[in-house]
Amino acid sequence: MIASMKRISAWFATLVLGFALQGLAAADTIAVIGTGNVAGALGTEFAAQGHDIVYGSREPDRDEVTALVERTGGNASATTQAEAVAGADMVVLAVPGEVAAEVAGSLGDLSGKIIIDPTNRISRGDDGFMHYTMDTSNAELIQAAAPGASVVKAFNALSFRTMMEPGGAVSIPLVGDDADAKARVAELVSGMGLEPLDVGPLSAAHIVEGMLAIWINARSAGTPFDYHLRRTD
């Protein structure tokens, strides 16, 4: 009886401490550029971790954007892309891969900020399959467009639905050259119930971006599936 009471009070103390630490964790302001599938998934997940989300949209007054802000909760808001990044600690580029570097370059000085890059370039050949031909990567092009920022590639290798409902252990490969920035993105990943997996420097981004080809080509071949990395101990 006494032993079980001790266990309950230890459990309660851990719970209280957990809440206290959560309260102490600093909230970041995260600009999410784009208001589509990935923007909505990551914005909502990061807001649930206590961060302030500012969506950056080409048309922030649209009804869908207002609905997204309401769905996101917390202190979420929406404005233009340039205004969204102005006071942000981190910037998520949830825009089409084909325009991502151009968008990064249009946002003003991003020095000192962390850019989270979930983008992919989807380029099917005439046969319906993806033939990956880039000798660089979107992540490196984004870094070149915003040289003072720290780009971390993350979240490009899973569907936006899995971001919200992983349904089991899902590892998220991260690449980037700034260890502190990678650690902060890893915290966001863990906070979503996903598992961060450091797979090296930004120069390895083309490998992570190439993972999309497996996903796309399996669908083109008639076998839609999701695949995930799994950690071994």
Residue choice 22, 136, 159, 190 for contact with ligand NAP (CB under 6 A):
159
Q: CB-hemisphere CA count at 13 Å for 221?
A: 9
Tell which residue, 103, 182, 101, 102, has the closest CA to residue 139: 101
Cβ-based neighbours of 136, under 8 Å, separated by 6 or more? 206
Residue choice 30, 31, 32, 38 for contact with ligand NAP (CB under 6 A):
38
Is residue 214 a contact residue for ligand NAP (CB under 6 A)?
no
CB of 91 to ligand NAP, least distance (A): 13
Q: What is the DSSP letter of 203?
A: G
Stretch that binds ligand NAP, among 18-26, 30-38, 201-209, 225-233 (CB under 6 A): 30-38
Is residue 44 a contact residue for ligand NAP (CB under 6 A)?
no
Tokens of residue 194, six digits = 């996903």
C-beta closer to ligand NAP: residue 6 or 62: 62
C-beta closer to ligand NAP: residue 18 or 125: 125
Is residue 34 a contact residue for ligand NAP (CB under 6 A)?
yes
In this chain, which residue has its C-beta nearest to ligand NAP?
36
Q: What is the DSSP letter of 81?
A: H
Strands (E) in 83-168, as ranges, are: 90-93, 114-117, 150-153
Is residue 119 a contact residue for ligand NAP (CB under 6 A)?
yes
Is residue 160 a contact residue for ligand NAP (CB under 6 A)?
yes
Nearest 5°: CA angle at 64, between 59 and 70?
Answer: 110
Stretch that binds ligand NAP, among 56-64, 82-90, 142-150, 215-223 (CB under 6 A): 56-64
Q: Sheet of 114-117: strands edge to edge? A: 77-79, 52-56, 29-33, 90-93, 114-117, 150-153, 171-176, 195-198
Which residues between 89 and 108 bind ligand NAP (CB under 6 A)?
94-97, 99, 103
Binding mask 173-212 for ligand NAP (x = CB under 6 A): ----------------------------------------
Cβ-based neighbours of 109, under 8 Å, separated by 6 or more? 148
Tokens of residue 35, six digits = 């208001």
Q: Kindly list the residues in this chain that would bind ligand NAP in the complex (CB under 6 A).
A: 34-39, 57-59, 94-97, 99, 103, 118-120, 155-156, 159-160
